[in-house]
Structure 1
Amino acid sequence: MKTIYAFDFDGTLTTRDTLIEFIRYARGNSALIMGIIRHLPMLIMMKLRIYPNDKAKQHIFDHFFKGMTVDEFTTICTEFARNSQQLLRPHGIETVKRAIRQECPVVIVSASIDLWVAPFFSDMGATIHNNGQTDSDNNTEAPIIILGTKPEITGGRLTGRFATPNCYGKEKVNRLLALYPHREKYRLIAFGDSRGDKELLTAADESHYKPFRE
């Protein structure tokens, strides 16, 4: 029986939420602060769990990135990853690499936008999973597969909406099972750090909550 490793990204393999850091990198501190102030009531309601996480996130994404060309966005994602390696938890990345050395499938299951998660693992052969198949002809044997929230793109530009459900909570399990449906045929080891990972950790044969805290 093969073993599959599933990792949350933000807070598990990184030291902080990359959405905020990505906005700061792409738009600057002033724009970030003004955007947060503008949406503060909504963000407070989200923290109090009286406003949906996915809707709040989409409003924020729309505010900062609607209308940007996908080429510009992809370039920023690549540059962000290259210049933000300090966000990665060394013990977490070593665990990912060890799983790859053992030839175990590795899946990064993240609520973050897949286009900025993937470049953090480009030197490890990461592949973004795309609408039921990977960019490499549904190659589920790629060293790392990224399952993340996908931005909607129309006419080469970001619409500000998401093309998939926010990859959070139960959706993480849904996405993983869509990729590896025969649950009885593999052992699942999962890593997470927040309530958005609860269902994934519960579904695993072996779970690790808030690991890699050096």
Structure 2
Amino acid sequence: MDLALFDFDNTITDRDSLSAFIKAHLPRRRLRWGGLLLVPLALGYYRLKIVPAHVLRAAVMRIGLTGLARQPLVEAGRRYARDTLPGFVRPHALERIRWHQARGDTVVVVSASIDLYLRPWCRQQGVALICSQLGHRRGRFTGRYRGRDCCGEHKARQILKRYRLRDYAAVHAYGDSAEDHAMLALAEHRSYRWQPVRDDVPREG
């Protein structure tokens, strides 16, 4: 049995699921003034390439979610997973997941996107999940993560915390950005933007 690790946004999906969820489900007023506050960071990320993605995501969580009631967004996440995400999923990505499942492999989505919609989607697909989890207290979001944003080296650490790689015959990893490099380094079968990565570097862990 092998272990198959899949990034979510722009690997399983053809777009950023987090920004689409935020735009669809945050109060309009908060989107407007939050967008204004985020302009400098957005410019630094999209135009100047000097702001890391995880810094922008953390700011979006803080400005967008702080103080919002949790339960309505939990329910929105379930609907989003059921009704919207299927339109984002790349058919060949789902085929690859099914291929691994048919072989009896352990399939895990490892993503910086959030648990509100990834948990129900992964449950629907019968796959495991490691992702960014939103902090909450007394029924409202704190605007911070429980733990850390699940990207970069933290992805690899969380994988190694949950799975012993030596228990698997082989490890496969699928990613699309620099935030996936540490995860890809754990595998001997690596796909970057759906192209095989061929090198002689042994897997870590």
The answer, yes or no, to whether TM exceeds 0.5 is yes
Question: Using the alignment, how far apart are the partners of 1:32 and 1:98 within structure 2?
Answer: 40
Partner of 2:143: 160
Q: 1:45 offset after TM fit, Å?
A: 2.6
Local SS of the residue matching 2:185: helix
**Cα distance change of structure 1 residues 156 and 29 upon mapping to structure 2, 3 Å threshold:** closer
**Per-residue deviation, 1:57:** 1.2
Q: 2:200 is matched with which residue?
A: none
Q: Deviations over 1:58-94 (max 9, x none)?
A: 2111222222222111101011122211101111011
Please give the per-residue CA displacement for 1:102-138, whole angstroms capped at 9, x wherever unaligned: 211111000001221122233223xxxxxxxxxxxxx
- Hey, what does 1:101 align to over in structure 2? 102
Give a deviation string over 1:140-180, Cα, whole Å, max 9, x none. xxxx1110001111112111111111100111110100011
Give me the TM-score of the superposition, normalised by structure 1.
Answer: 0.81
C-alpha distance in structure 1 between counterparts of 2:143 and 2:30, whole Å:
17
**Identity percentage over the alignment?**
28
Match of 1:19 in 2: 18
If the length of structure 2 is used for normalisation, what is the TM-score? 0.85
Aligned to 1:5: 4
Number of equivalenced pairs:
192
Question: Distance in 1 between the 2:97 and 2:31 partners?
Answer: 31
- C-alpha separation between the residues in 2 aligned to 1:71 and 1:60? 19
What is the CA deviation profile of residues 6-60 of structure 1, one whole-angstrom value per residue up to 9, with x for unaligned ones? 0000000001111110012103778646533431111233454544433321211
Unpaired runs of 5+ residues, structure 2, are 196-205
User: The residue matched to 2:8 in structure 1 has which SS?
Assistant: coil
Determine the C-alpha separation between the residues in 1 that align with 2:136 and 2:142. Answer: 6
**Equivalent residue, structure 1, for 2:190:** 207
SS across alignment from 2:2: strand
Within-5 A mapping of 1:1-214: 2-27=1-26, 32=31, 35-47=34-46, 48=48, 50-84=50-84, 85-125=86-126, 144-180=127-163, 182-186=164-168, 187-211=170-194
| Contact 2:134/2:146 (8 A) holds in 1 | yes
Give, in whole Å, the separation in 2 of the partners of 1:58 and 1:17. Answer: 15
